[in-house]
């Protein structure tokens, strides 16, 4: 590790991989001094999902303001920053480019080191913010709009993906099912809320298993089962109880996520399990994991909802450990839309 133990490291972190323009100042990887998030959800609602061109344009409009606010709220001057961390993939290329260009410009103007961060590494590192005692190794479930990964965290920033989705990501399934039952975008929080009024055992939806890898996920069959159920009800003229559909669908997703995750934790012989990504803010998922981990004596880590969905504080946490390892990027750092985690 390059850093001296008594050195105070202030990371200015930038995140713009999808529809949140975000900047944050993080001290020594775990203390969030500011966490500014401009969410574009309102702009994309009418289209039922994120429109990449609109996202890029809005990032350009907002990025400087969000960065300035992050510094101001932290009470930190740009000269006091140790390094600049930025998400450079995966994500929407035009959206990523805005954050990467801003970070490069600040790095060039100030001479501060530039550190590119993997978005998923950021999501996982969100757990370090509120759990100062959490250290690798542990198993982490990353469930977001674009990813459903079961990961072993060997060390800071070092991961093995042991399970992934074969088709839709968990969040994508939430968004598609929400659209089908007429809840609109973004689906996850709406299904979460409506499910509280529904019966999770009202409709029996499938829990898919992937034959070749016991840790992999598949959610497209479940999504089709929900669509078939809705069509069948409409054809028969039966009334659809939205809350029951939402709760039964959500339970089917959670059952699979919990079963695969706990199996992995036991198989890999660790006693720590963390969740990350937008879907990790789901209230039923959090209580299901709390209950099951409790039964098995596994310590369960779950970031506050604001650190589950996209934010820059998580990039600051991940960026800090990259900084300590001596990772530095040049001004040729580019956006990599399909960046691999490794």
Chain residues 283-322 in contact with ligand KG4, contact rule CB under 6 A = 309-310
Least distance between ligand KG4 and beta carbon 96 (Å): 12
Q: Give the count of beta carbons closer than 10 Å to the beta carbon of residue 41.
A: 12
Q: Pick one of 87, 144, 242, 248: the residue that binds Zn ion (CB under 5 A).
A: 144
Is there a contact between 115 and 333 (Cβ–Cβ < 8 Å)? no
| Bridge partner residues of 38 (DSSP) | 21
Is there a contact between 117 and 139 (Cβ–Cβ < 8 Å)? no
Task: Give the SS3 label for residue 178.
Answer: helix
Least distance between Zn ion and beta carbon 124 (Å): 11
Least distance between ligand KG4 and beta carbon 5 (Å): 33
Tell me: does residue 16 bind ligand KG4 (CB under 6 A): no
Number of residues that bind ligand KG4 (CB under 6 A): 19
Is there a contact between 293 and 259 (Cβ–Cβ < 8 Å)? no
Of 31-39, 44-52, 140-148, 249-257, which segment contacts Zn ion by CB under 5 A? 140-148
Q: Which string of x and - marks every residue 134-163 that binds ligand KG4 (by CB under 6 A)?
A: ----------xxx-----------------
Q: Which string of x and - marks every residue 163-182 that binds ligand KG4 (by CB under 6 A)?
A: --------x--xx-------
Q: Which residues of 298-333 are buried (b: 16+ CB within 10 A; e: fewer)?
A: bbbbbbeeebbbbbbbbbbbbbbbbbbbebebeeeb
Q: Pick one of ligand KG4, Zn ion, none as the site partner of residue 309 (Cβ within 5 to 8 A by kind).
A: ligand KG4
Tell me: does residue 244 bind ligand KG4 (CB under 6 A): no
Tell me: does residue 172 bind Zn ion (CB under 5 A): no
Spatial distance between the Cα atoms of 335 and 342, rounded to a whole number of angstroms: 17
Q: Which string of x and - marks every residue 282-321 that binds Zn ion (by CB under 5 A)?
A: ----------------------------x-----------
Is there a contact between 114 and 101 (Cβ–Cβ < 8 Å)? no
Tell me: does residue 188 bind ligand KG4 (CB under 6 A): yes
Nearest to 253 by CA among 163, 180, 188: 188
Please report, as ranges, the residues that interact with Zn ion according to CB under 5 A: 144, 310
């Amino acid at each position: 590790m390059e850093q001296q133990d008594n050195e105070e490291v202030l990371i200015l972190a930038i995140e713009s991989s999808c529809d949140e323009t975000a900047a944050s100042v993080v001290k020594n990887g775990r203390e969030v001094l500011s966490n500014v998030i401009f969410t574009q959800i309102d702009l994309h609602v009418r289209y039922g999902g994120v429109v990449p061109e609109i996202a890029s344009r809005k990032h350009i409009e907002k990025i400087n303001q969000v960065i300035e606010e992050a510094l101001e709220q932290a009470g930190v001057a740009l000269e006091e920053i140790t390094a600049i961390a930025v998400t450079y993939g995966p994500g929407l290329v035009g959206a990523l480019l805005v954050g990467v260009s801003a970070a490069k410009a600040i790095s060039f103007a100030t001479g501060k080191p530039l550190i590119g961060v993997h978005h998923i590494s950021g999501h996982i590192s969100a757990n370090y913010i509120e759990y100062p005692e959490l250290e690798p190794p542990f198993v982490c479930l990353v469930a977001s709009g674009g990813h459903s990964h079961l990961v072993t965290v060997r060390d800071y920033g070092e991961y093995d993906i042991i399970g992934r989705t074969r088709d839709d990501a968990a969040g994508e399934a939430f968004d598609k099912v929400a659209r089908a039952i007429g809840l609109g975008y973004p689906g996850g929080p709406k299904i979460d809320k409506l499910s509280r009024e529904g019966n999770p055992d009202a409709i029996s939806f499938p829990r898919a298993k992937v034959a070749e890898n016991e840790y992999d996920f598949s959610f497209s069959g479940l999504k089709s089962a929900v669509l078939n159920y809705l069509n069948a009800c409409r054809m028969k003229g039966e009334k659809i109880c939205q809350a029951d559909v939402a709760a039964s669908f959500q339970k089917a997703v959670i059952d699979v996520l919990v079963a695969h995750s706990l199996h992995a934790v036991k198989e890999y012989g660790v006693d720590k399990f963390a969740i990350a990504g937008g879907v990790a803010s789901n209230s039923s998922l959090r209580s299901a994991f709390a209950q099951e981990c409790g039964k098995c004596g596994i310590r369960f880590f779950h970031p506050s909802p604001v650190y589950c969905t996209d934010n820059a504080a998580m990039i600051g946490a991940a960026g800090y450990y990259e900084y300590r390892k001596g990772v530095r990027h040049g001004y040729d750092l580019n956006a990599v839309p399909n960046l691999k985690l490794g």
